[in-house]
Amino acid sequence: MTTTHSDKAIITCAITGVLTDPTQHHVPVTPEQLAREARRAVDAGAAVVHVHFRQQEAGKGHLPSWDPQVARDCVQAMREECPGLIINQTTGVVGPHYQGPLDCLRATRPEMAACNAGSLNYLKVRSNGTWAWPPMLFDNQPAKVKDFIDVMLATNTLPEFECFDVGIVRCVEMYVQTGMYTERLPEYNFVMGVESGMPADPDLLPILLKLKIKDAPWQATVIGRQEIWPVHQRVAELGGHLRTGLEDTFYLPDGSKATSNGPLIAQLAQVARDAGRSVASPQEARELLGLHAATA
């Protein structure tokens, strides 16, 4: 990719998320459910599906899985239902033991994968002043980042550098300067709306664009309720790629609750068109991102 702006907007569907409870929300868990939701997303304009894998046993669908066979089954089902679909795989895991995500990358060889580019105190406070969950560190020290970069290189997977805070955006350039990442211009994902990270504020976007490497492609993940949609609109206007889905929000701009990924992606496609941009097909997205041709 050699330009900061394309009239084609690549739309990613964050199809399910890491811990969203399928008994409370309409998130897919099984390979068959993921395939159906992927079809809805692609039909609405998505070229990429960002996927988390869940445990498949009854009553365990709210818990993550790093079983390579589960990963293979889920990816195969989505690819068979949506030939040409670009898979963007999660790798996020807390703590020093992260062999599971590495094994899943080797098992599925996705075209793209999240590469969490720095650590974040992962915090949220309830309205009554108590922690929403025990305070925790989402640890992504440079050695861990390097391990993921190396496996992604071996599997021909494009790292999508997840940046949860301004300093993490700056770290990505350091990974390039030190030779940790040398393959091409890095792909940035500005994650906005995590309570203890960058806010979902459109005024922050020009600052982030000043801090990323010139000409490097970028998108924004915007987490929240219906207030996220003005941020998406500004992303589209500034030339970024777009992402939404049931991992990031349940709410459409009018405040109504989405019952599948389809309406969220359709709304994001309209955001792109409102900014004077067209929606990239999976093949066009591959060309923009420099990915290899679809094999299924």
Whether the predicted pLDDT of 289 surpasses 70: yes
pLDDT at 3: 35
Of 36, 12, 49, 87, give the one whose Cα is nearest residue 279.
12
**Mean pLDDT along residues 160-177:** 98
Helix, strand, coil proportions of the chain in percent (round to 5)? 35, 20, 45
Structural domain total, the chain:
1
Segment 122-155, tens digit of pLDDT: 999 999 999 999 999 999 999 999 999 999 999 9
188 and 217 Cβ atoms separated by less than 8 Å:
yes
Whether residue 2 is contained in a domain is answered as no
Q: Which residues pair with 51 in a beta bridge?
A: 89
Whole-number Å distance between alpha carbons of 83 and 105: 20
Of 70, 150, 157, give the one whose Cα is nearest residue 112.
157
Q: Which residues contact 293 (CB under 8 A, 6 or more apart)?
A: 286
Whether residue 294 is contained in a domain is answered as no
Segment 235-246, tens digit of pLDDT: 999 999 999 999
162 and 191 Cβ atoms separated by less than 8 Å:
yes
Q: Which residues contact 183 (CB under 8 A, 6 or more apart)?
A: 153
**Mean pLDDT along residues 232-257:** 97
Whether residue 64 is contained in a domain is answered as yes
Pairing of strands 48-51, 11-14: parallel
Parent domain of 81: 8-289
Whole-number Å distance between alpha carbons of 219 and 221: 7
Whether residue 159 is contained in a domain is answered as yes
Whole-number Å distance between alpha carbons of 241 and 219: 4
Whether residue 46 is contained in a domain is answered as yes
Q: For residue 26, name the pLDDT band (cuts at 50, 70, 90).
A: confident
Whether residue 187 is contained in a domain is answered as yes
Whether residue 47 is contained in a domain is answered as yes
pLDDT at 40: 97
Say whether 257 sits in a helix, a strand or coil.
strand
The CATH number that applies at residue 169 is 3.20.20.70
* Six-digit token string for 29: 């868990």
pLDDT at 294: 61
Whether residue 295 is contained in a domain is answered as no
Long-range contacts of 89-93 (CB under 8 A, 24+ apart): 89/50, 89/51, 89/113, 89/114, 89/157, 90/18, 90/50, 90/51, 90/52, 90/53, 90/114, 91/115, 91/116, 91/148, 92/18, 92/116, 92/138, 92/162, 93/66
* Six-digit token string for 125: 């406070």
192 and 201 Cβ atoms separated by less than 8 Å:
yes
Say whether 249 sits in a helix, a strand or coil.
coil
* Six-digit token string for 116: 């969490």
